[in-house]
Amino acid sequence: MSGIRPTGFLHLGNYFGAIRNYVKMQEDFDCYFMVADLHSLTTHPDTKELKANVHRVLAENIACGLDPDKVALYCQSHVYETAELYLYLNMLAYTGELEKTVTFKEKVRQSPDNVNAGLLTYPVLMSADILLHRAKYVPVGKDQEQHLEFARTYVNRFNHRYGEIFPEPYAFNYNQELVKVPSLDGSGKMSKSENQMATLFLSDEDDVIRKKVMKAKTDGGPTVMNSVKPGYIENVFGLMKLVSAEDVIVKFENDYNNCTIRYGDMKKQLTEDMVNFISPIRGRINNILNDEAYLKGVMEKGAAKATASAKITMQLVREAIGFNY
Ligand code: TRP
């Protein structure tokens, strides 16, 4: 089970860091992937863009290979049981603990005049999302680890007080290390908010991709055979490893090692391979976005699957708590 915030415009880092994992998981597990639209109200009370954002995030994930027939792909707000479980879990959540959450403190700093209770109990709602399906594996990045810790705490409190119903959920990842996709300016990784010119979005047009890749930071090339690559050159090779063929990579590695590399040629090749990688995805995103009826069908199917699973859990929960009169 995992949740995806509907903040729009996925980039290459999201693809290799998260979505590729989801797409692999759908073959191996019973998966629930949810658009966290309720969570978005904690920071974005203005809902004018909500529908478009939800559509986009669904389209992007489907375009990347998530199959609504294999997984439950749904919106959090369509599964009403979420709100009920959230309420019960709130009684097991201590405000003192929640106030110490790193993400909460960050958001308080960012918007001191909107410190709503929903923001404080963000991890409780996220726990409800997970426990609703009694999920064990949650594919998320490091930034969500503390939230998962809360989910395990509530599982243990619930199980001790009312009976064993929930398994403990843990972060899940196929590769030991999460794939980090370096940004094109030689610093840090690709990100939605940092430098948009250094981040490749799945919806970028070919000429935008070209412009961004050709501006990637390089230098005059090595002058000593087999020297260690500077970080920003390592990054360009790193990007190539994600999208280019093995023999292409070997060629440029060799050129680097014997000091004949021409970064202009390398970036042209990388541009070509990036365009070939991104443009079919972009095409699919746009086709899906143009088909509102299809998206509605996806959400309905997803909500039905998720609700069926949630109903079973909630039956157990109500009985365990003692609402059985
Ligand atoms: N908090 C997650 C994020 O910011 C999104 C999320 C909501 C989530 N509910 C979830 C992730 C349940 C995993 C499981 O990315």
Give the pLDDT confidence of 256-271 residue by residue, as tens digits: 999 999 999 999 999 9
Tell me, what amino acid is at 26?
Q
Q: Tell me, using a 6 A CB cutoff, whether residue 39 lines ligand 1.
A: yes
Catalytic: 107?
yes
Residues 23 and 144 in one domain: yes
Q: Phi-psi bin for 138: left (phi > 0), alpha (psi -120 to 50), beta?
A: beta
Domain membership of residue 237 as a residue range: 196-285
Q: 61 with 19: CB under 8 angstroms?
A: yes
Whether pLDDT at 21 is above 90 = yes
Rounded Cα distance, 295 and 68, in Å: 10
Kindly report the CATH number assigned to the domain that includes residue 13.
3.40.50.620
Domain annotation covers residue 175? yes
Kindly report the pTM of this predicted structure. 0.95
Instruction: Give the ligand 1 atom nearest the CA of 147.
Output: 1
Query: Does position 175 have pLDDT exceeding 80, yes or no?
Result: no
CA 35 / ligand 1 centre spacing (Å): 9
Question: How do the residues of the chain divide into helix, strand and coil, expressed in percent and rounded to 5?
Answer: 60, 5, 35
Nearest CA to ligand 1 atom 13: 2
Residues 121-132: pLDDT tens digits?
999 999 999 999
Which amino acid type is present at position 303? Answer: A
Indicate the pLDDT class of residue 208, thresholds 50, 70 and 90: very high
Shared domain check, 169 and 20: yes
Is 222 in the same domain as 279?
yes
- The whole-angstrom separation of Cα 127 and Cα 144 is 11
Residues 279 and 298 in one domain: no
In terms of domains, do 118 and 23 share one?
Answer: yes
| Confidence tier at 193 by pLDDT (50, 70, 90) | confident
Report pLDDT for 195: 83
Using CA atoms, how far residue 134 sits from 41, 130, 313, in Å, is 24, 6, 7
Other CB atoms within a 10 A radius of the CB of residue 307 amount to: 19
3-state SS, residue 194: coil
- Whether residue 304 sits in one domain with residue 220: no
In this structure, are 144 and 221 located in the same domain? no
Is 229 an annotated catalytic residue? no
Give the residue whose CA is nearest to atom 14 of ligand 1: 2
Tokens of residue 75, six digits: 């919106």
Same domain, 155 and 130: yes
70 and 105 part of one domain: yes
Q: Per the structure, how many domains does the chain have?
A: 2
**Pair (147, 168) in one structural domain:** yes
Task: Find the mean pLDDT for residues 114-121.
Answer: 97
Amino acid at 59: A
Mean pLDDT confidence for 41-54: 96
CB-count burial class (<10 Å; 0-12, 13-18, 19+) for 224: exposed
For residues 56 and 96, membership in a common domain is answered with yes
- Going by pLDDT thresholds of 50, 70 and 90, the confidence category of residue 88 is very high
Active site residue 189: yes
Residue 72 bridge partners (DSSP): 32
Domain of residue 277, CATH code: 1.10.240.10
Q: Kindly state if the Cβ of 3 falls inside 6 Å of ligand 1.
A: yes
